[in-house]
Amino acid sequence: MERWIKVTHQNEIPKGQTRAFTIENEPIAISHVEDGFFAYENKCSHMDFPLDDGILEGCEIECAHHGAKFDVKTGEALCMPAVSAIRVYPLKIEGDEIYVEIP
C-alpha cells in the first residue's frame, strides 16, 4: 500500500538545488528545477554513491563520482558509466509542504 509522507517545505529547497532525505529507510533526493520538484532514488545506478552532491543542470543531475547523468523527472540514465535508470517517486505539494509517495 502506498503512503504519502510529508518530507519538507518548498522553501527548504531553492530552485536549482537538491536535498537528500531518508524516508522510511529509503535514500531519496528532491531536486527543484524549472518545472517544479522531483523526487528520485538518491543512489547512482553505477556504484550506488549518493547523487545529491552532484551537479544539477536543468533537469539533469550529474553524479559527482564518475560523471553519469540522470533525468530527475524520469530517472532515465543519460550517459555512461550508468546504464540503468534510477527509481523516481511521485511527489505532490500541499500548501507549502512537499509529500513523497513511498510504495
Which residues here bind ligand FES, judged by CB under 6 A? 44, 46-47, 49, 63, 65-68, 81-82
Least spacing, CB of residue 80 vs ligand FES, in Å: 9
Least spacing, CB of residue 41 vs ligand FES, in Å: 12
Least spacing, CB of residue 20 vs ligand FES, in Å: 15
Least spacing, CB of residue 43 vs ligand FES, in Å: 9
Smaller CB separation from ligand FES, 75 or 81: 81
Quick one: which H or E segment has residue 9? strand 3-9
Smaller CB separation from ligand FES, 60 or 102: 60
d(CA 76, CA 56): 15
Smaller CB separation from ligand FES, 26 or 101: 26
Provide the CA 16 distance to its chain's centre, in angstroms: 12
Handedness of CA 69, 11, 35, 73 (dihedral sign): positive
21 to each of 41, 51, 53, 79, 94, how far by Cα in Å?
10, 12, 12, 25, 18
